[in-house]
């Protein structure tokens, strides 16, 4: 066991051994002349990748756009833009590979994926929602992902059923 003096000397000796060494995280050395910036992958949802036909087209459009961005970033030698485009390309390629197109169900007796739902809030205000895939969701436009709590509350319900919408009770008035 070390006494206070020996412990202090041991600590100083350990510190002296580390002087002059720096973590490689703090250096700017590159293994080659072409610096590479890797960005972490975008998280991919653990849920099934259900998409409408419009959602699948959005994925295809994103892939086309990203191929163009990669060409442009490569030509401009813009490593950051290239890394971002490559990361997004990996994401959208994975989403395209896992996409499950859900054809619209013509029976509107119950709310299903892809359906447009009109609800009437307690105060008389109406809201319109469409249940879509996660990547095509746009709440400002009423497009909600099928895995969202609101979509789950609507799923399987019929006209006249009451649901909790945005902290208010609402009645389903139309399914289309």
Distance of CA 91 to the CA centre of its chain: 9
Interval 69-82: pLDDT, tens: 999 999 999 999 99
**157, 172 in Cβ contact below 8 A?**
yes
b/e 3-32 (16+ beta carbons within 10 angstroms → b):
eeeeeeeeeeeeeeeeeeeeeeeeeeeeee
Interval 50-63: pLDDT, tens: 999 999 999 999 99
Q: Is 128 found in the same domain as 97?
A: no
Domain count, the chain: 2
Positions of the chain with pLDDT under 50: 1-33
Looking from the CA of 137 toward its CB, the CA atoms found within 13 Å total: 15
- Locate 116 and state its tokens: 């447009």
pTM greater than the 0.85 cutoff: no
Q: Is 122 found in the same domain as 97?
A: no
Q: Of 49, 75, 103, at which residue does a domain stop?
A: 103
Whole-number Å distance between alpha carbons of 26 and 28: 7
Q: Which residue, chain included where needed, has tokens 């609800």?
A: 119
In this prediction, residue 35 carries a pLDDT of 53
Q: Of 52, 81, 103, at which residue does a domain stop?
A: 103
Domain range for 64 is: 36-103
């Amino acid at each position: 066991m070390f006494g206070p003096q020996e412990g202090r000397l041991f600590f100083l000796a350990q510190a002296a051994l580390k002087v002059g060494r720096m973590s490689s995280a703090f250096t700017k050395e590159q293994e080659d002349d072409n610096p590479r910036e890797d960005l972490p992958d975008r998280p991919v949802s653990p849920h099934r990748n259900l998409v409408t036909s419009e959602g699948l087209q959005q994925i295809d459009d994103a892939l086309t756009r990203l191929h163009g961005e990669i060409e442009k970033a490569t030509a401009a030698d813009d490593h950051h833009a290239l890394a971002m485009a490559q990361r997004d390309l990996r994401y959208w390629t994975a989403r395209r590979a896992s996409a499950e197109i859900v054809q619209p169900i013509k029976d509107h007796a119950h709310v299903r994926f892809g359906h447009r739902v009109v609800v009437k809030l307690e105060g008389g205000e109406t809201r319109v929602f469409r249940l879509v895939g996660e990547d095509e969701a746009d709440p400002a436009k009423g497009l909600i992902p099928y895995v969202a709590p609101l979509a789950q509350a609507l799923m399987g319900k019929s006209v006249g059923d009451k649901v909790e919408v945005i902290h208010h009770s609402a009645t389903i008035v139309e399914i289309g």
